[in-house]
Structure 1
């Protein structure tokens, strides 16, 4: 005789349908809303030049698009761009406008800043000269390879959790799964860095520094998913996968730079492993590690969360085993 009455089956079906509808709605919001409101949002840029000229520039850039900071010299402005203190900048004189950009730090912000420089130059009946201080590589001038690396990193977190749990199931295989995820992160991060640097030539920074960042990013994704799965079962795995793929991916800002998303969405994206992984990759690959501290710390926290969830599941799983052992002894 079936244990499921028609009413119980109906309730279960209703919950499944509502859950799937909520998931699709969340997916639509995560992809559509940031795109609808995308654009420059408080992008930090520097300005150098005579007071009258910089005053005119500030009036031209009024609004929420730019966060303008004054620098005493052009050299100080250039150094700030190279150190990721600002996304770019302009020097304005009576006869010329120079635009300093860092395309590798955010191509969309670079385009908007160039347009601002052209507008200011037109007001002074001159032309703007663009200097790209941190460009993408010559073999990949649009950064397509770096942008494409995000999905393999996300799947690099999903697949180990799924496959390792099938090969080493149950409580007894939990520690083996965690060790396997960390070992996989080591191998996968090294391989992804090698492809980006030596196959597609999409990055040209220090290979080992880039590799360490990619290992940390992959470990953050894989351990978090494994910990959720160990503690909550497949529901935890589904929750973690949806969080990383449906929310973390569109909010990562890897293709555009984080300043191109609305402020709240951008902050949330940088706190999730995909966004932090992208920021760490950008910092290590093009800026010699400048600005890598916060995303590295964020990823380390996620690794700690994943391992903590796994240890909690391990402790919970020991209790039934201990109880069965004591009962057998009695």
Structure 2
């Protein structure tokens, strides 16, 4: 009898082990796809650039810049083109003249895109036996000309949302600690956002925008991630937290485009990356730190939606908690008065 009871138990354990092994293998493959595919297919994709000059010159430039690497727009004059670069309508532009080409770039908007445009302008000038001048309208700060500090902000922003959510869930578990977790998540996002901005702007000199605006943007990004993870954990436990963390790490991190800019990723991947908190946080940081907030409205709206999602999940968990407690509470015999 004991042997017959043990056999089904071992069979069940074997099936459970097989499911776990296959599931873990699937996670590893998904991780490989998320990190490898965007890297393998990375490169210039529809980089918006502007050209200006005579009709023949702009037509020749547009033809030279044809292909999936570029998205060419024509402007009336050089002033309009430079304004478009500063307003983030285009990543840069080329202005032809007799025996000379001027390339306008915005390295802070995407270092690799700026380098590619510079290379293209240099090649065109060589073909025309002309001189070329490169003017960087939005460079990185002189203290960090390669933008190393800015690029390194990706993982701190991600872990700045994940780690506090995990710790708060452990320190204040259950429905009784739900509101404390919410308050702690918001407080942490504000404090951490201002601290990270202070370090990057005044410690390393990597940022050059308005400190208050940059800090609030970083706080919004960390709140979007932290509150969403807290909401998932409140509704589904650590399984919900694990699911959210996996999406952030496997998709959000490699698709954020913080170091390269979104135009260096394939179109579909880039769009997905900008809809996730890491990508939206990086784009908002870029806008606030180097472009006076220009072009950051969409990213701020995306992060605001994630914050609202997290709050909604927490609210549902808060409303559901008392009802579940009432159901699970042992029944009482009515007392006679």
What TM-score do you get using the length of structure 2 for normalisation?
A: 0.95
Shift of 1:324: 5.1
How far did 1:322 drift? 2.7
| Structure 1 segments (4+ residues) deviating >6 Å | 1-4
Aligned equivalents of 1:128, 1:232: Cα separation in 2: 59
| Long gaps (5+) in structure 1 | none
For 1:303, the equivalent position in structure 2 comes to 307
Query: 2:100 maps to which residue?
Result: 96
Question: Where do 1:71-90 residues align within 5 Å?
Answer: 71-90=75-94
| Alpha-carbon distance between aligned partners in 1 of 2:66 and 2:327, rounded to the nearest angstrom | 69
Distance in 2, matches of 1:299 and 1:247, equals 16
**C-alpha contact 1:137 1:201 (8 A) present in aligned 2:** yes
Unaligned runs of 5+ in 2: none
Matches for 1:120-269 after TM superposition, within 5 Å: 120-269=124-273
Displacement of 1:179: 1.0
C-alpha displacement at 1:328, in angstroms? 3.4
Q: CA RMSD in A?
A: 1.6
In 1, Cα distance between the equivalents of 2:330 and 2:171?
Answer: 29
Q: Is the 8 A contact 1:78 1:100 kept in 2?
A: yes
Task: Work out whether 1:19 is the aligned partner of 2:23.
Answer: yes
Deviations 1:81-120 (A, max 9, x none): 0011111111112321100000000001001101110121
Query: Equivalents in 2 of 1:138, 1:241: separation in Å?
Result: 36
Q: Which residue in the other structure is 1:323 paired with?
A: 327
Question: Which secondary structure state, in structure 2, belongs to the residue aligned with residue 81 of structure 1?
Answer: helix
Write out per-residue CA displacement over residues 273-322 of structure 1, whole angstroms, 9 at most, x where no aligned residue. 00000000000000000001000000000011111111112222221223
Rg larger for:
2
Asked if 1:49 is matched to 2:88, the reply is: no
Q: C-alpha displacement at 1:323, in angstroms? A: 3.3
Q: In 2, Cα distance between the equivalents of 1:129 and 1:50?
A: 19
Instruction: Measure how far apart 1:253 and its partner are.
Output: 0.4
Q: From 105, 114, 120, give the equivalent of 1:116.
A: 120
